[in-house]
Every structure is written in C-alpha cells, then in structure tokens.
Amino acid sequence: MSYLITGGTGFIGAHIAGLLAQGGEEVVIYDIEPRRDIFEYLISKEEIALVEVVKGDITDLAHLIRTAKEHNCTKIIHMAALLSRASSANPVLAVRINCGGTTNILETARILDLEKVIYASSNTVFGLAEQYKEEYISNDAPHYPSTLYGACKSFDEWLARHYFNEYGVDSVGLRFPVVYGLGHKEGAAATLTDELMVKPALGKPGRVPCGDDTLNWLYVEDAARGVVMASKKASTKTRSFNIDGEICPIAVAVDYVRKLVPGADITLLPGHTGFTGKYEISKIREEIGYRPQWPLERGIEQVIKGVRKLYNWQQRS
C-alpha cells in the first residue's frame, strides 16, 4: 500500500512527500520534470529510501494507471498543475493539464478502485471579492472565477462530484489561498515570497506587489499537513473545502520581515489583486479537524532561516 503524488517534487508536493515519509508511509512520486534540488534538501536520506520517483505526464492515462497498479498505490494526492500565469498564456495547455489531467486522476481511481483522491483546488474558483456581499465567502458559495486557472479548478470540483455521484470515487479538494514557504518557483505566490522574504534574507532589495492587499497566508507545512489529514479521513460530507492560514495585510508582513532582517530594503508597491483573503472555514474544522499551526510571523522567520541555510547548502554542493 502506498501513496501516488503527482507533482511530488514541486513546492507543496515535496513537503507532502516528506511528511508522509516521516510517518513511515511508502510514497511514489509521479512528475513530468522531477526536481531533485529542493526535494533532496527537504527530505532526509532515510525518508528518501521510502520514496520512489517516476517520470510521467498526467495527461498520459495509460502510464498513470500502470504506475499506480505496479506500485500498489491505494491513494492519490494530485498536485500537478499549470499555474495561473502560465494558464493564461497557453489556454490549450491549461485545459489539457488542469482539466484533462484531473480527469485522468479520477479515471485511474475509478478503474483501480482506489481508496481516496486528494487534489489541489484554489480559492480562485470564487473570483473577485466584488462578486460577494458577505465579508467571509462561505464554503458552498457559488463560483465566479475571473481567471482561466480558477475556471479550470472550478470544473475540477464539478468533475470530482460527478465521479463521486456516478462511480463512488471518494475525493477531497482543498482550495489553497496564498501558499508561501521554501522552494516556491512559479506563480504569483512565488513572486510574493521571493520579493518579500527570499531577497531580503539574502541581502537583496525586494519590490513587493499589491501592497494594499490583505491576504490569507498559508504556510506550506500547514498546507501539506492539511492534505495528509484529508487523505486519512473517512469519506466526508463535503467534497471541497476552504483551507486557511492567517489573514494579514501585506504591509504588516513587510513589518515582520523588517523586524527579522533589520535594514531590509523592501519597496511596497501599491495596488490590489481584487481577491479577498477571507473565507469561511468551519467545514474543514468540523470534518477534517484541520487548524493552521503556523502564524505568519513564525512562518516568515522559518522561510528566512531556511533560505539562508539552503543557500549555504547549495554553495557547498
């Protein structure tokens, strides 16, 4: 029995793999371009012994099924995706990966009668804050995605409900907000993390976008823990959940960094994303038992320490 993690050497996927390996679980990573750098830094040699990496494309259904069957996988954690900016730049590829790939994951689970699928959704399914009257968007609020990425994730949620209702495929989607931490390479959250935390940690100037915003900051270890918790729960009444970190203005996050890195050269650029950081989270508390454990200030401190340690590790490698 083992887990199959798509995109498992990526940012959140690598943390999930490490957390599962620490718990003694066997893990098979399925990734189109496996990244060894951050993955091998995050996971100890003992944990790596519990992880096998298979190079594969999530649009290749036959290879997915074969990999899951050969490794006796009973659960799939689906993290592979084309992120928002890349999706907007290449709509055909976005639909192929983000919608077609998720279809293949659910079809693999159906054919092999797997126990569970956990997949990454996004709070971008809700679209812009102006679409909603309430301050906190409810878990069951209607979707008004304003980006192609958000529309793909909204369709994935519909598809997962269809596979559950028609075929009994048990799945849970987690709507991630801004996920920050060590190892981010792509997307708007990666840019924010780089400009706000990584560059100041290395003594470089940072230019932080959308400085007038208030965001929901989810530390990557909380994100990974939420996924693992969801994977171990029996079937839930709710099929997709809002998941949270700490709601905090970007300006306050800048103050945290300046406190941790005295003299940090940070320029806070004006502007808004148009999205809200406020989502109602009672259902994930009740049905999964998840609560964030990383306050933003402590998470930022961990990123800064990790960046410096990783930089020294890379210099010695």
pLDDT (tens digit, 9 = 90+) per residue, 125-157?
Answer: 999 999 999 999 999 999 999 999 999 999 999
In the 8-state DSSP scheme, what is residue 234? P
Task: Provide the pLDDT for residue 41.
Answer: 73
Domain residue spans of the chain: 2-176+220-232+239-244
314: pLDDT confidence band, cut at 50, 70 and 90? low
8 A C-beta contact, residue 114 and residue 69: no
Task: Provide the pLDDT for residue 313.
Answer: 53
Residue 48 has pLDDT above 90, yes or no: no
Smallest CA-to-CA distance from 54 within 80, 28, 36 is with 28
Task: Provide the pLDDT for residue 84.
Answer: 85
Long-range CB pairs of 111-115, under 8 A, 24+ apart, other chains included: 111/65, 112/65, 112/68, 112/69, 112/73, 114/68, 114/73, 114/74, 114/75, 114/76, 114/169, 115/74, 115/75, 115/170
Rounded alpha-carbon distances, angstroms, from residue 17 to 220, 294, 308: 12, 19, 23
49: pLDDT confidence band, cut at 50, 70 and 90? confident
The 3 state secondary structure assigned to 243-304 is CCCEEEEHHHHHHHHHHHCCCCCEEECCCCCCCCCCECCHHHHHHCCCCCCCCHHHHHHHHH
165-212 pLDDT, tens per residue? 999 999 999 999 999 998 877 778 889 999 999 999 999 999 999 999
* Buried/exposed code over 77-86 (b: 16+ C-beta within 10 A; e: otherwise): bbbbbbbbeb
Residue 38 has pLDDT above 90, yes or no: no
Q: Which range, of 11-15, 251-255, 300-304, averages the lowest pLDDT?
A: 11-15
What is the total residue count of the chain?
317
In the 8-state DSSP scheme, what is residue 124? G
Which 3 state secondary structure label does DSSP give 39? helix
For domain 2-176+220-232+239-244, the CATH class is: alpha beta
315: pLDDT confidence band, cut at 50, 70 and 90? low
